[in-house]
Structure 1
Amino acid sequence: MPIVCKFGGSSLANSEQFKKVKDIIESDENRLYVIPSAPGKARNGDQKVTDLLILLYNMAVHKLSPNEVMSMIEARYREILDGIGIEFDLKAELDTILSTITSGKVSKSYVLSRGEYLNGKILAAYLGYDFVDAATVIRFDENGQWDEEASYRALEEMKEEHASAVIPGFYGSTPSGKIITFSRGGSDLSGAIVARGVGADLYENWTDVSGLLAVDPSIVPHPRKIKKITYEELRELSYSGAKVMHDEAMFPVIEKNIPVVIRNTNAKDEDGSYIVANVPDDMEGENITGIACRKGFDVINIEKFRMNRDLAFHRKVLSVLEANDIYLEHMPSSIDSISLVIASKYLKNKTDQLIAELQTFTNADRITVDHNIALITIVGRNMKNRVGTSAHIFGALAGANVNIRVIIQGASEMNIIVGVLDEEADKSIEAIYNATFS
């Protein structure tokens, strides 16, 4: 059974990185399907190729000369080609891209996808693998939604025709041929889809770190590495702000129970972090797996005496949110109050209007708003089986003189979320880490 390998932008940023990738691929004959990202930053001061492509598109939209930006893009790929020593008609490829852009009929997704497309063609030539354009196997419907059934059918057919292949990440196409991209970081999802589609034994995600860390190393120096983590835990951490993987990338591999490993292109012999369906309860003896954080939330607190007697109360609240096109993050409640945790970006210029409508529809006794709240998520599969986990967390925050504004626990008891002021987030995370991992 094949191994599917996804290589991120840092892993393919220049010719030296390409050589490392080739060494990795050739060290295991089962690494048959490779998903590349566009070149990332090769050194400080560089720009990611995708960022250059965004700039290129914006210049074309405003009828500005794209020549300087095209020269920068060409220089990045020229360094790769010269360094790995292969023949490749880069000029013809770039001319095609430029003529398509200047035609005025091209979509932004097409332009953004060309970084992965070119990297894929170059890597395929370098490895001696077939090149399969993602537009032929990652399928979207005409509304721009990923078409699961069509994609897996196309991948099954592709596998029969190509024993090994490089398939660019990040994009696909509709039946009419329109290029569609996933959100930034979508190559993770492309890799997972390909792994599911070809029936892989393993999905390797190669990046610039040797696995997953229990907390952001910019906050806690040298944090513990996570050796094994479940799909569900990873989803929680990723959604909660951890810089791990695209938060949708787990769904395809979960369906077929395909293990995922995060490994370091620059340290290929180091153990990575495995993402699997189940981890033994006594694994490492830890009840906490990781800590993540997202900032920039507002909390709207609604108080109403005997709220629990109003059967329609929650429906009224949610109807107001829906009417104002506002996404709700969490909704903790008590007998006479409810809190709405909402990302601040959804409340721009809407807060006063929203409060007025909530007051009208719910006849609340009091409505207040807390601004600049950070949500710290503590994730662990064993938390529900360990006495004292919450005490450690809350005790650590009290010791750091942090006032908790919100407390939320998921139904699965896999996470505890605490809301603190944005300005106190980092010291809160450090305190929790030291209390739970020491």
Structure 2
Amino acid sequence: MNNIIVAKFGGSSLADSNQFNKVKSIALANEKRRYIVPSAPGKRYKEDHKITDLLYLCHAHVEQNIPFGDVFSVIENRFLELVEELDVTIDIKEYLKEIKTNIAQGASADYTASRGEYLNGLILANFLKYEFVDPVEIIFFNEKGIFDEERTQRAVSKKLLKIDKAVIPGFYGSMPNGDVRTFSRGGSDVTGSIIARGVNADLYENWTDVSGFLMADPRIVENPKNIKNITYRELRELSYMGATVLHEEAIFPVRKASIPINIKNTNSPDDEGTYIINDLSPASYAGSITGVAGKKDFTIITIEKSMMNIEQGYCRRILSVLEDNNVSFEHIPSGVDTVSLVIAQSQLDGKLERILKEIEIKCKPDSIDVHPDIALVAVVGIGMLRTIGISAKIFEALAKEDINVTMISQGSSEINIIVGVENSNFENAVRAIYNAFSK
């Protein structure tokens, strides 16, 4: 045991001075919290703006030769107010001046967007009396902009294990030439995971504004139960289907080192939260599900052709049509003489008629049916493995609500079952399945 906890705090956790004080109390409450990873300031209230959004807007203004001073002044005022209220000894005006100059001179979108984390990191390090470590020194991307895992791992270990306590901003690192490179939005979660693996932490805490994962979306299900434990694989499935508490790529670095992740609430620090644990841990909740999540607006294209199963290369020709039109699919349920393509409608915008025509020409099907406005509902859980009756329970719950199922997909891993329903039945389907398993 290294007695090290890496704690990442999201934008809502660092939105204003009041939140900064909560973070300080949490960080100093446990000596093991040696490495802190901050996001840029988030919204303080519903109509407020995230700092990262404003920085992207500044960059867009410069690209279009539009003055960005008014937008940048909003950013300046946020940070000036923060420094004044926290009474930290940092000349934030000089940093802001340098950043504004660089943006005006055509700094990249990645550099511009990363400055929210950079400034927040400087302020938090001063506030906590921790050392500041700029991620450009320890998190690296290769010439193609792909994360360089091995080089980063060595650099993080070498640099941080010599430092007792440090603040490392999230979201960005550097290219081989030193230019700033960012992860995708929400990438501070990934940074925290990289740091946790690099220092071989005992635990990676991810502090946000919710007390962990819920079994279902609270906007759909009233007061859904909290998920106490979830495996990396279950998290991937639920995150992919829209359960967005943690950036789905954040699990990979810590998964390799079997480091658990604890999702915690900055505003309710005593709540247990959710532990994301190793896939190899035996499920102690056989016969139950972990969660239910989903997304709307898919189209199902069903192609029927007699003897399709013995015609070599048939599915390859179908998929080549999608590839030629730069369209990706979500699922491919199939039968002996049928294959269905489940595609997000956003992918098909203006392309559907062309794709159907090309399938007709290349594949000569007996028929093609198109079912738009379909929602996918994923039922996920290690506890479903080799448990008799799970599928029956799901479909019985849907039948009781008169919900017709247009598609069923289950992977060989048996930890998820995906059903397709009409968009209009989506919320009712989620509620019906949740209620069937939450009693």
TM-score tier (shorter): over 0.9
Distance 2:340 2:360 in 1: 14
- Please tell me whether the aligned partners of residues 119 and 168 of structure 1 are also in contact (alpha carbons under 8 angstroms): yes
Equivalent in the alignment of 1:197: 198
Match of 2:8 among 6, 23, 26: 6
Equivalent in the alignment of 1:326: 327
Question: AA paired with 1:4?
Answer: V
Q: CA deviation at 1:281?
A: 2.7
Equivalent in the alignment of 1:101: 103
Question: AA paired with 2:73?
Answer: S
Is residue 130 of structure 2 the alignment partner of residue 116 of structure 1? no
Uncovered stretches (5+) of structure 2, i.e. residues with no partner: none
Distance 1:179 1:371 in 2: 42
Indicate the SS of the match to 2:385: helix
- Please tell me whether the aligned partners of residues 80 and 93 of structure 2 are also in contact (alpha carbons under 8 angstroms): no
Equivalent in the alignment of 1:300: 301
Equivalent in the alignment of 1:17: 19
Indicate the SS of the match to 1:82: helix
Equivalent in the alignment of 1:254: 255
Distance 2:295 2:146 in 1: 27
Superposition pairs of residues 57-206 of structure 1, within 5 angstroms: 57-104=59-106, 106-206=107-207
Indicate the SS of the match to 1:65: coil
| 1:25-65 deviation digits (Å, cap 9, x = unpaired) | 10111111111000011123211111111221122222222
- Please tell me whether the aligned partners of residues 409 and 415 of structure 1 are also in contact (alpha carbons under 8 angstroms): yes
Equivalent in the alignment of 1:428: 429
Distance 1:286 1:270 in 2: 26
Q: CA deviation at 1:161?
A: 3.4
Distance 1:157 1:282 in 2: 39
Distance 1:156 1:329 in 2: 38
- Please tell me whether the aligned partners of residues 228 and 279 of structure 1 are also in contact (alpha carbons under 8 angstroms): no
Question: AA paired with 1:48?
Answer: K
Q: CA deviation at 1:328?
A: 1.7
Q: CA deviation at 1:385?
A: 2.8
Distance 1:184 1:295 in 2: 22
Uncovered stretches (5+) of structure 1, i.e. residues with no partner: none
- Please tell me whether the aligned partners of residues 394 and 433 of structure 2 are also in contact (alpha carbons under 8 angstroms): yes
Q: CA deviation at 1:287?
A: 1.4
Q: CA deviation at 1:326?
A: 1.5
- Please tell me whether the aligned partners of residues 229 and 279 of structure 1 are also in contact (alpha carbons under 8 angstroms): no
Is residue 253 of structure 2 the alignment partner of residue 234 of structure 1? no
Question: AA paired with 1:435?
Answer: A
| 1:277-297 deviation digits (Å, cap 9, x = unpaired) | 1444334x6510001111221
Indicate the SS of the match to 1:154: helix
Distance 2:233 2:321 in 1: 31
**After the TM superposition, which of the residue ranges 11-20 and 40-49 deviates more from structure 2?**
40-49
TM-score (norm 2): 0.97
Indicate the SS of the match to 1:367: strand
Q: CA deviation at 1:320?
A: 2.0
Equivalent in the alignment of 2:34: 32
Question: AA paired with 2:75?
Answer: I
Indicate the SS of the match to 1:162: coil
Distance 1:362 1:426 in 2: 37
Give the alignment's Cα RMSD to 1 decimal. Answer: 1.3
Q: CA deviation at 1:15?
A: 0.3
Q: CA deviation at 1:427?
A: 1.2
- Please tell me whether the aligned partners of residues 287 and 387 of structure 2 are also in contact (alpha carbons under 8 angstroms): no
Indicate the SS of the match to 2:177: coil
Q: CA deviation at 1:323?
A: 2.0
Distance 2:108 2:176 in 1: 16
Q: CA deviation at 1:384?
A: 2.6
Distance 1:65 1:325 in 2: 36
Question: AA paired with 1:388?
Answer: G
Distance 2:247 2:173 in 1: 16
Distance 1:171 1:197 in 2: 16
- Please tell me whether the aligned partners of residues 125 and 131 of structure 2 are also in contact (alpha carbons under 8 angstroms): yes
Question: AA paired with 1:149?
Answer: E
Aligned-residue sequence identity (percent) comes to 49
Question: AA paired with 1:192?
Answer: S
Change (3 A) 1:187 1:109: same
Distance 1:422 1:201 in 2: 43
| 1:145-185 deviation digits (Å, cap 9, x = unpaired) | 11111111111121243222111111111010121111111
Question: AA paired with 2:399?
Answer: A
Question: AA paired with 2:114?
Answer: S
Distance 1:215 1:142 in 2: 41
Indicate the SS of the match to 2:248: coil
Distance 1:227 1:219 in 2: 20
Question: AA paired with 2:82?
Answer: I
**After the TM superposition, which of the residue ranges 286-295 and 158-167 deviates more from structure 2?**
158-167
- Please tell me whether the aligned partners of residues 287 and 390 of structure 2 are also in contact (alpha carbons under 8 angstroms): no
- Please tell me whether the aligned partners of residues 289 and 384 of structure 2 are also in contact (alpha carbons under 8 angstroms): yes
Question: AA paired with 1:92?
Answer: E
Question: AA paired with 1:360?
Answer: I
Superposition pairs of residues 380-395 of structure 1, within 5 angstroms: 380-395=381-396
Aligned residues: 436
Distance 1:69 1:286 in 2: 53
